Chains A and B, each alone.
Chain A
Amino acid sequence: DAGITQSPRHKVTETGTPVTLRCHQTENHRYMYWYRQDPGHGLRLIHYSYGVKDTDKGEVSDGYSVSRSKTEDFLLTLESATSSQTSVYFCATLSAGNTIYFGEGSWLTVV
């Protein structure tokens, strides 16, 4: 597995609180992604980054923001968490050979 770590791995938070998930990679991959995975919906792209400080929206970006201040870190922030954001979040990177490597996932519950 590529060196991708996510933190926290599990979190329970209350509605209306801000939450930040961190993705850290040691592979020096340029492209990084945040997906959420929900039953019946597969992997849906939230935001992605194509370089330091370069990010763009995916298909389900409402309520989420991201930042990438250095190559190895890609942060996903829920400004004000809602119950609909309860999900499993996966960070991913894209290698030069086009292989996608995923982190282990972050299980987020908003109560």
Chain B
Amino acid sequence: GENVEQHPSTLSVQEGDSAVIKCTYSDSASNYFPWYKQELGKRPQLIIDIRSNVGEKKDQRIAVTLNKTAKHFSLHITETQPEDSAVYFCAPKDPNSGGSNYKLTFGKGTLLTVNP
């Protein structure tokens, strides 16, 4: 199965600074790379994703970059705001796996704290 590691496990930044979270995976067949955000007491929700035919994707203040050769992808948040404080999870996936192999493995999460 997929081995997924996230770094750092905690990240504290000042409001307005940038934050970067990295996700390393083991399965070279993975070609779908999402990031999920979980606010305190809430459910995780998809915030951005990228597929392997694209190197970078942006959505306002967040972006995801992919390095397939090195098997890692990163979440970038610019001009951080207090409402960005949350736990962020990655979940790389091989969408061609099917049937009984359809496990979904998450990284352990990164707690981002944005200090006002």
Contacts and interface: CB of A to CB of B under 8 A. Distances in A.
Interface string B101-112: 011111111000
B60 interface: no
B103 A42 contact: no
A94 interface: yes
A104 B43 contact: yes
Contact of A41 (B102, B105, B108): B108
Query: Interface SS of chain A: helix, strand, loop or mixed?
Result: strand
A31 B97 CA distance: 12
A48 interface: yes
Contacts of B109: 42-43
B89 interface: yes
Interface magnitude class on chain A: 20 to 34
Given A56-B100, A94-B102, A99 B46 contact: yes
B43 A48 contact: no
A100 B43 contact: no
B93 interface: yes
A43 B102 contact: no
A98 B32 contact: yes
Interface of A: 1, 31, 33, 35, 40-43, 45, 48, 50, 54, 56, 58, 90, 92, 94, 98-100, 102-105
Shortest Cβ-Cβ A-B pairs, 5 listed: A42-B108, A102-B43, A43-B106, A42-B109, A98-B32
Given A50-B100, A100-B34, 17 more contacts: A1-B45, A35-B106, A42-B106, A43-B44, A43-B106, A45-B104, A45-B105, A48-B103, A50-B98, A90-B43, A94-B102, A94-B104, A98-B49, A99-B49, A100-B104, A102-B45, A103-B43
